[in-house]
Amino acid sequence: MERIAVCVDGVEDENVIAAAIPWVSRFGEVEVLCAYGDVAGRELQHARDRHGRPPPPRPHHDDETFDREQAEAIAARGVTLMAQQNVKAGARVISGRDAGHALAAASGSEVALLLAAGHREDVGPHSVGHVARFVVDHARGPLIVIRVR
């Protein structure tokens, strides 16, 4: 296996990239991967459920375009962070029903997926967030899970 994709989400990217560096040096090709799904649709539903009304309008009228632009910016920042660690990487954005489904589908026999787990102190199935848990349970190929502290 020559390729690895490092998943970033814009929240703790500096910590994720720093934790990924020892792993990515073992691979010939590195991608910074940002996944998005029906973010706007879920946010709208959440606002309706919680507040009984739709949220204020977003600056972009096309939610999918807005989500893709955000994901592209996050992936590009990840590439910059990799370059600061002297690692050449490409950016890739993927989408699906949600981020977990998109990431699970992206893993496969040709690419190892490096996924960062959050700060949860639990042990077992609840030790990672819901997206990471879905990917752990449904990944189609090699998966490296790192703890970000």
pLDDT in tens, 72-110: 999 999 999 999 999 999 999 988 778 888 888 888 767
Q: What integer pLDDT is reported at residue 11 of this predicted model? A: 78
Contact call for residues 71 and 99 (beta carbons, < 8 A): no
Tokens, residue 37: 């799904």
Q: Is the pLDDT assigned to residue 8 strictly greater than 80?
A: yes
Q: Show the CA angle centred on residue 107, arms to residues 4 and 36, nearest 5°.
A: 100
Q: What is the pLDDT of residues 25-62, one digit of tens each?
A: 889 899 999 888 765 555 555 556 666 665 555 555 56
Tokens, residue 138: 């449904």
Interatomic CA distance for residues 74 and 34, integer angstroms: 7
Which DSSP letter does residue 107 get? -
CB atoms within 10 A of CB 138: 14
Which H/E stretch holds residue 29?
Answer: strand 29-36
Question: Where exactly are the structural domains of the chain?
Answer: 9-27+112-149
Contact call for residues 92 and 33 (beta carbons, < 8 A): yes
Which H/E stretch holds residue 5?
Answer: strand 3-7
CB atoms within 10 A of CB 111: 21
21: left (phi over 0), alpha (psi -120 to 50) or beta: alpha
